[in-house]
Amino acid sequence: MPAAPAKPVLLTGASGNLGRVLARELTALGWTLRLTDIAPFPDPVPERASFTRMDLADGVGLLRLAEGCGAILHFGGISVEQPFGTVLGPNIQGLYHVYEAARRERARVIFASSNHAIGFHERPQGNAAKLDVDCAFRPDGFYGLSKAYGELMGRTYWDKHGVENVNFRIGSCFPEPAEARMLATWLSFADLVRLCEAAVTAPRSGHCVIWACSNNPASFWGRDHRDRIGWQPRDTAEGFRDKVGHITSGNPVIERYQGGGYTAIDYSRGKPSAPDAFDLD
């Protein structure tokens, strides 16, 4: 088990489902956390943590909150598909404020990206190759588009300012898989906590991207940068196959693409786009 970070860690989105898990589990491991969210923290604030209610639009407030922190776990912002105007402020402007705080503090950013940044890649069939992390972005909506932008911002801040960042392309992080697609995409809470440990405590990360899913044989995803931070998932969705393997949407768009249900929201094409992102057909 890695030692707790020497400096405090800022956790945005602390009042969300994943933020609450991380607040509880990381403080139990001895971490000192500064928690923040636009919504009140719904649980008792753990020992070794403090909570500040704040909007990501408050760039000055975020700078102050990040002072002295060694890392920022950025799980804040809009976490589901929403209209562009709703996503724009928290997920674009708010992310900029996070990176400016990290630049000043020389802190590492751990960014909760998403599989929806690549959601319009087709699911691999049979022996088809799995998708590697250097694939083209193919966002499946405005939420996924904001996550692609977030990864590119990390690339920019690494190249221009040397701000290290680890981007988690989170699949489906729930207590257990709920349908057949999650046999490929599921990330257990325990594997998420271990991933955060590895991302924060690794000696170096540079700019890297991780497929954030558990050890699922059915995974859609192949190579990534996990060796750079020393993370390997321990859990697997396979134990839930009999329970959920038969549960599908019945929607051909949802079942075709890796992004699942998000791909069908406002979908208006007459026929599917080509598997190659730049083909006309």
Which residues are identified as catalytic? 143
Can you read off the two tokens belonging to residue 25?
């589990």
The answer to whether 185 touches 172, Cβ cutoff 8 Å, is yes
Structure tokens at 256: 């075709």
* Three-state DSSP class for residue 14: coil
Alpha helix locations (H) across 54-139?
59-66, 84-88, 94-105
Q: Which H helix or E strand runs over 71?
A: strand 71-74
Task: Tell me which residue has tokens 């403090």.
Answer: 50
Which residue's structure tokens are 């000696």? 203
Q: Can you point out the beta strands (E) in 126-191? A: 165-170
